[in-house]
Structure 1
Amino acid sequence: MSSPAVTRLSISDSAAQQVIESAIREAQRLGVAAVVAVVDESGVLKAFHRMDGSLLSMVQVAQDKAFSSAATRLPTGMWFEATRQDKVFEFGISAIKGICPLAGGVPISLDGQVIGAVGVSAGTLEQDEQIAQTAAAAVGSAQPA
């Protein structure tokens, strides 16, 4: 008889804080005020930081990027080209609550398993992606967009 339970790895509190700290350092290096959200493997918020000077509108965007990346196990930066080429896919993605198809959401993997994701909203989409990639790499491996 097979077990009715499934064991999954999840990002720890301390690792989530390391991701936040790494994102803040990279944002400061780039000279942008970032909002950073870290979620667990299920997309539930684990850690959050809003830098002084960041826009209030970025709060939900960062959380949605992190959720989107955890939910699909993909960097959100991959979606722009895919949705541009496939209007049915674009329509489907836009219908899912909390999905944000903008660069800056990156899964965090450990031993090949997604343990969480980071979402960043700061400046340009390129800056968001760079900050998120750097932050994810602080505790695991990031999947490039």
Structure 2
Amino acid sequence: MLSKAVLSQTDVSKMLAAARSEAEKNHWAVTISVVDDGGHPLALERLDGCAPIAAYIASEKARSAAIGRRETKGYEDMVNGGRSAFLSAPLLTSLEGGVPVIVDGQVIGAVGVSGVKADQDAQVAKAGVAALS
């Protein structure tokens, strides 16, 4: 039988706080979503001034990173590189800003961010993931 870490609510709170801090430091109005390894929601925070659609997009970025076991930037790069057939994959977003949480080589969840430029979304998500280091 295999064992792996599981995100606790303390972990989720640390990730949200770190991601929020990164966004606020840069004056970015974003939504931050944290999910478990199956892409199921654990937390969502929409900062003041962020468009409502970002809540949906951030959640899908997080879910795609968790179940795809990789950053969503890889999917965006595939599509932008001409592999348009990938748009029919069961992941719901191919947009940068979803980052998996990896512990001991196992994906245990993900952080998704939406609301600013793609690389800025990813910067905020990575700050959230880094809070567990």
Q: What TM-score results when the alignment is normalised by the length of structure 2? A: 0.92
User: Mind listing any 5+ residue stretches in structure 2 that lack a counterpart?
Assistant: none
Alpha-carbon distance in 1 for matches of 2:86, 2:124: 27
Alignment correspondent of 1:89: 86
Partner letter of residue 116 of structure 1? G
Runs of 4+ in 1 over 6 A off after TM superposition: none
Q: 1:16 aligns with which of 12, 18, 35?
A: 12
Alpha-carbon distance in 2 for matches of 1:42, 1:107: 11
Alpha-carbon distance in 1 for matches of 2:84, 2:95: 16
Alpha-carbon distance in 2 for matches of 1:88, 1:55: 29
**RMSD of equivalent CA atoms:** 1.4
1:1-145 → structure 2 map (5 Å cutoff): 7-84=3-80, 85-90=82-87, 92-93=88-89, 96=90, 99-140=92-133
Equivalenced residues, count: 132
User: Mind listing any 5+ residue stretches in structure 1 that lack a counterpart?
Assistant: 141-145
Alpha-carbon distance in 1 for matches of 2:46, 2:34: 12
Q: What TM-score results when the alignment is normalised by the length of structure 1? A: 0.85
Name the % identity.
33
Moved more, 65-74 or 109-118: 109-118
Shift of 1:102: 0.5
Question: Which structure has the bigger radius of gyration?
Answer: 1
Partner letter of residue 118 of structure 2? L
